[in-house]
Chains A and B, each alone.
Chain A
């Protein structure tokens, strides 16, 4: 049940057609895992905290460095040299003390993925390395959890919604780790934040039931040219990571 304060706090978004108290209650009951809270994941977490997602679990290791601060907007200058996880928790708690925030000072891996994915409803993949992304994907597909994929590079951003049994997965989109991918990539926070906000709304749509998610569709945004394209993607035949196809095959 929403409290009177929650009804007031979220009143403007509850006015969105199709949300109302029932949609807000679904957000309150939702449990979402975000892999890393950097330039993308941090803004995803910020938007979902503001929207009142009841439980946010965030996996992000390491200590804050000066070079993080141009885009990782949950991080603050006074936390330099300290655990990123502590700064993430403090910023999100300051924004919304009504929700549960669990920050794990670990990056996602094949070893911890079963535990981290285990009791959430939805996962959002914001890691900067393909092994982490594949570990998240493989566990989400194994457990039948939907996954939002929202990578960026320079002025490019991709966005899609993987739903086990109804779409392909990250391994279908990119079967192999590109050897040329480097941990450091060119980024303005305005670009990583743009795809983050769109990814957060994909999550809100899925949880509340409003709108249409990007199932079997890859949105490519080039913010340098402002070209946005919706492109069809599908499950690869015999993908060993996808669960059996759901015969409903509805995008509704």
Chain B
């Protein structure tokens, strides 16, 4: 299963924070929907009208999929998917 890497900025929004979550799925979209199924509190941070939030950055195995193709990007066993929301602490 792909592994989602959850940064502190998202962990703080989770009812049961985890820094890594293994989820089923063969695409980024599958993996994120599996995450929000278990953690519905993240739904509004990750998605807007079922589309990826435009300011959320996703990286798959340290590469950046094109934003418009991100949800369809293939992930495989052991893939690491990093989710980075915008932050502005200064």
Q: Which of the residues B5, B59, B89 comes within 8 Å of A187, measured between beta carbons?
A: B89
Q: Are B89 and A185 in contact (CB under 8 A)?
A: yes
Q: Are B12 and A154 in contact (CB under 8 A)?
A: yes
Q: Are A156 and B9 in contact (CB under 8 A)?
A: yes
Q: Are B8 and A178 in contact (CB under 8 A)?
A: no
Cα distance A234–B90 when bound, in Å? 23
A41 at the interface (CB under 8 A from B): yes
Cα distance A192–B54 when bound, in Å? 26
Q: Are B63 and A39 in contact (CB under 8 A)?
A: no
Shortest Cβ distance from A36 into chain B, in angstroms?
5
Cα distance A152–B9 when bound, in Å? 9
Cα distance A232–B59 when bound, in Å? 8
B84 at the interface (CB under 8 A from A): yes
A224 at the interface (CB under 8 A from B): yes
Q: Are B88 and A128 in contact (CB under 8 A)?
A: yes
B45 at the interface (CB under 8 A from A): yes
Which residues of chain B are near A154, meaning CB under 8 Å? 8-9, 11-12, 89
Cα distance A225–B19 when bound, in Å? 8
Cα distance A185–B63 when bound, in Å? 29
In this complex, the member of B12, B54, B63, B90 whose beta carbon has the largest number of chain A beta carbons within 10 angstroms is: B90
Which residues of chain A are near B19, meaning CB under 8 Å? 222, 224-225
**Chain A residue at smallest Cβ distance from B13:** A180
Q: Are B84 and A224 in contact (CB under 8 A)?
A: no
Selecting from A45-53, A113-121, A169-177, A202-210, the interface stretch reads A169-177
Shortest Cβ distance from B48 into chain A, in angstroms?
9
**Chain B residue at smallest Cβ distance from A173:** B57
Which residues of chain B are near A150, meaning CB under 8 Å? 90
Shortest Cβ distance from A217 into chain B, in angstroms?
11
Shortest Cβ distance from B9 into chain A, in angstroms?
5
A17 at the interface (CB under 8 A from B): no
A220 at the interface (CB under 8 A from B): yes
A151-B87, A151-B88 known; A231 vs B59 contact (CB < 8 Å): yes
**Chain A residue at smallest Cβ distance from B86:** A174
Q: Are A178 and B64 in contact (CB under 8 A)?
A: no
Shortest Cβ distance from A186 into chain B, in angstroms?
7
Q: Which of the residues B63, B82, B86 comes within 8 Å of A130, measured between beta carbons?
A: B86
Q: Are A220 and B82 in contact (CB under 8 A)?
A: yes
Q: Are B62 and A229 in contact (CB under 8 A)?
A: yes
Q: Are B86 and A156 in contact (CB under 8 A)?
A: no
Inter-chain pairs besides A156-B87, A174-B86, A180-B44, 15 sampled, C-beta below 8 Å: A38-B90, A128-B89, A129-B88, A130-B86, A130-B88, A153-B8, A154-B89, A156-B9, A176-B54, A178-B53, A178-B86, A181-B88, A185-B88, A192-B89, A231-B59
Q: Would you give 29 A-B contacts (Cβ < 8 Å), ordered by A?
A: A35-B90, A39-B89, A41-B90, A128-B90, A130-B88, A151-B87, A152-B90, A153-B8, A153-B87, A155-B8, A156-B8, A156-B87, A176-B55, A178-B55, A178-B86, A180-B45, A185-B88, A220-B84, A224-B8, A227-B5, A229-B82, A230-B62, A231-B62, A231-B64, A232-B59, A232-B62, A233-B57, A234-B64, A236-B67
**Chain A residues with a Cβ under 8 A of chain B:** 35-36, 38-41, 125-130, 133, 150-156, 158, 173-178, 180-181, 185-187, 192, 218, 220, 222, 224-225, 227, 229-234, 236
